[in-house]
Each structure stands twice: as C-alpha cells, then as structure tokens.
Amino acid sequence: MTASDRTLKLPAGPPPRSAYLHIPFCHRRCFYCDFAVVPLGDRADGQAGPGSASIAAYLLQLHREIAQAPPGPPLSTVYLGGGTPSMLTAGQVGELLAALRRRFGLAPGAEITLEMDPASFDRLRLEATLAAGVNRVSLGGQSFDDHVLASLGRRHRRSDLLEAAGWLDRARRCGDLDSWSLDLIQGVPQEGSGAAMRERWDGELDQAIALGPPHLSIYDLIVEPGTVFERLRQRGSLPLPDDDTGADLMEITQGRLAAAGYGHYEVSNYALPGHASRHNRVYWSGAGWWGFGLGATAAPWGRRQARPRTREAYGAWLEAQPAAPEPAAGGGEGEGMPFDELMLVGLRRREGVPMDQLARAHGLSVQALGSLRRHLAPFEESGLLRVEGPRWRLTDPAGLALSNAVLRELLVWWESPGR
C-alpha cells in the first residue's frame, strides 16, 4: 500500500445532479474561439446537408458515453452547450434527453438549457426543441453591431439576433419557455477613442435591456492562443480597449444592469429575480456534475476530468472506457487506478467491480478481503451489496440508491489501522 492510498478522502457530498453535454459542431470557427469545435460549413444541419453524417456519428458516441456512466440520482439541471447545439434537430435533442432520463432520470422541474445561435434555427425549430423538453435557452447574440459581428467572425447579423430574441420572448410570454439568456461580449476590438468605445458599449446595453432577456451573460473578450485574434494582435492589428477603458466598460455594465433590475450573481452573469441559472450555480457551488462529449469537463464529486478535444482522440478515449471488462492477463481494471476512484466509478456501475483485481492492484491479501467482506456484511444481508464470485456489485435499485452509505463504510474500513 502506498502513501497516497493512505490519504483517501470520502466523497464530498451527494452524487451529481447536473449534466453538461458538449455539442461541438459549428458552421465555422469564430475569430476569438478556442473551444472544442468541429466546423462543418455554412449549410450544415442536424439531419440534412453536409455534416449530417458527422453529427449522427458523434451523437452515437455521446449516447454510448451516457449509457456507460455510473447510475446516479435524477438530474436537476442539464446544459447542452457547444459549439452550436441549435444545429441539432429537435428529434436529436429529444433523444439525448431521453438517454439522460434512462440513465439518471430527470427531476420534476429540472432546468434544461440549450445554447442557440441566431441564424442557426427558425421559429418552427425553436417550438419543436421546446416541445422536446428544453425549457431554457441561452442565445449567443454577442453584439447588435453588424461591423462588430463581422469582425468577431460571427455568422449571424443584428437582424438575426433581433428575430431570434423576439421568438424567445414570445415563447416565454406564452409559457412555452421558462427563461432565456442573452450573451454579449464586452471589450471587442474597435477603432476609436475610449470615449467612443464607452458610448458604443452603452448603446449595446441599451438594446440588450430593451429586449428584456431574464438573464444576461456578459463575457470579457480574451485573446486565446491559436486563434485568429492572437495572430492579429501579434501583427498589431487588433485594436482592443486599454485597461482603463476596459474597467470603465465593466463599471458601465454593472451600473446599467443594476438599474434595470438585474442582480449580479456570478462574475459574468446577471439575472432578473428568479432567473439565475441553476446550472451555472452548480459549477461554482462545489456540487459535482457529469460531463459528456468531446472536450467536456466532468467533475463528479469535485474531481475534474477533461475529455479529449478532437473527434479522433475522443473516439479512442471512449473505446478505452470499460463497459463490462473482464480481468486481463498482466493488468486490467483497477490496476494503477487510485482506490477511491475505483470505488467511486466502479462500484456505482451496475456491473460492479472485480474485487480480485482490486486486491491485486492494492496489495490486499485473501484475509484482508475477508475482513472487508465481514465489515460490509450488514449491506450484504440487507440486499444492498451482492458478491458474485470475484465481482462485488451494488444491487439495483436498492444498493445503488444507497451507494454513498456503502462507499463510506468501505472507505472507513480501508483507512482503519487494524484492518
């Protein structure tokens, strides 16, 4: 047993009740974007046109990853981000939600957000997407100025943004949509004095407030490595606001939005009362979340796990995930894996864990395994834990529902000096 094995920590708090799904497809890459994105071209769509086969193949992978996840309690928040998730058809969105429902269940009143880009959907698609179960939309508006939108490399224009916002507003007033959010980017490159930049930004906020989104996300432009903007900056052709002007823009934002009734509940997020994003809060509260898809970050029990960012690497990673692995000669499941990770991931899977491999990987003797089994005997007797040959597993649904109690006892035993 190693020193690190001795420093095992119990899972902090309850299992995740939130999930993030990454939909990496975009029509093209914006000039400032370094997200995990697969550009498909301007005519791409979920079910027709170039790119549809690529989307369909990726969705199969995503469904597989969801199906392989350890079971957990019903989800209270789901967030489909990207990329441009509004490139998916309503049917594809509905199938993903059905997969989550099968794996975890969706809690009554769950907040289900989908990111939508203007010009990537129309009113009918919006209605169908809401009918599929989405009840919150995050609209990637970014700016009301066509010159700014063009300079950011965005595909949509002001008229697209106004039209999309109008549909969302009507859907909310009709009760078909619980809430929606508008994204804007602050500190975009533009010519002119600091005073001119402040005036333009004030105008952007005017237009945003006039649309009445219940939630606003205001992001500072950051020049990321590897982007078109980084190359422009290196050439000296990216006129960004200086630090003083940037601070002024932030102050203007806070003042204007506070006056309009928006509470500033997180660094980039503002909401009218009752419209703070429950999913956003999960990221910052320390509660864990599931993450699925290329480039997604998961953090069940606060342990961050980033998925690979390319299609090929994600496919290979997914292939390497154990479905119901059998012991392999010379190594296998559990070997080289920290004990607590093995327990958390393995014992929460319906197929359980192969305890013979666990014993081998962590230097447990036959006597120690017997001691552990005696320690967990009350769970076995009450039907929560089943030992089937070398495989130990929690029963479904009783054992999985009370998995935290079993895991805690198991780790208590592991850390006990006299075991």
Kindly list the residues in this chain that would bind ligand SF4 in the complex (CB under 6 A). Answer: 26, 29-30, 33, 35, 37, 82-84, 117, 140
CB-based contacts of 227: which residues, under 8 Å, 6+ apart?
31, 32, 33, 34
Residue number with CB closer to ligand SF4 (22 or 348): 22
Residue 54: φ, ψ to 5°: -65, -45
Pairing of strands 263-266, 269-271: antiparallel
Pairing of strands 179-186, 38-39: unpaired
> Shortest distance, CB of residue 210 to ligand SF4, whole angstroms?
24
Residue number with CB closer to ligand SF4 (37 or 59): 37
DSSP code of residue 318: H
Residue number with CB closer to ligand SF4 (72 or 141): 141
> Shortest distance, CB of residue 208 to ligand SF4, whole angstroms?
18
DSSP code of residue 49: S
Cβ(68)–Cβ(323) below 8 Å: yes
Query: What sign results for the dihedral spanned by CA atoms 282, 283, 285, 287?
Result: positive
Residue 312: both structure tokens together: 């090929």
CA atoms of 161 and 143, how far apart (whole Å): 9
Q: Provide the β-strand partners of residue 38.
A: 25
> Shortest distance, CB of residue 408 to ligand SF4, whole angstroms?
40
Residue number with CB closer to ligand SF4 (19 or 221): 221
> Shortest distance, CB of residue 106 to ligand SF4, whole angstroms?
26
Residue number with CB closer to ligand SF4 (138 or 179): 138
CA atoms of 93 and 80, how far apart (whole Å): 9
Residue number with CB closer to ligand SF4 (118 or 352): 118
Measure CA 156 to chain center. Answer: 24
> Shortest distance, CB of residue 23 to ligand SF4, whole angstroms?
9
> Shortest distance, CB of residue 32 to ligand SF4, whole angstroms?
7
CA atoms of 29 and 152, how far apart (whole Å): 10
